[in-house]
Structure 1
């Protein structure tokens, strides 16, 4: 495949993901690439609208999107790292796991997370 063909294939794959929510593979037929020249203007507009990611997610059930949610872990190392972790916890940073690492047991005991090493 030429580089141009690879770009077209990648673009078609992205369109398939956005339109159907499925990942393309060798056994699935490729999605339609563009509107044909005979297509009426209204139909072209409709095709463009369905490839808009925002429109796709607004009209489709997004219950499976939690599978793609990132897991964020903040690791504070040493005294300054422990202080940074405490600061983030004090500011109620949500959706983040905290871990404090320190060789100074006394300072480690002052961290606000239960995840200490």
Structure 2
């Protein structure tokens, strides 16, 4: 008896699943249907809508150009003289260090 009821239940479940799947797949989808918008949703002052949008857009452009100008004003400028000056300073320090080292060596040799 249990075998019979489980077989019946499984066959009914399969039949219901197949029927509901076929029903779902056969229902048409109306995605391309044009829907009417009630007139109460439409803003009567649509000219101000576009004017305000243009003004906000232009204000955003002005804001972004100001930021861009501030950023470009602080760009580090390259001066070709700086590496030459740095090299001169390096050579001066190197020669001074060499002289200091030679003085230390002379003082050490005098001690012995």
TM-score scaled by structure 1? 0.23
More helix by share: 2
| Greater RCO, 1 or 2 (C-alpha within 8 Å, sep 6+) | 1
TM-score scaled by structure 2? 0.24
More strand by share: 1
- When Rg is computed on C-alpha atoms for both structures, the one with the higher figure is 2
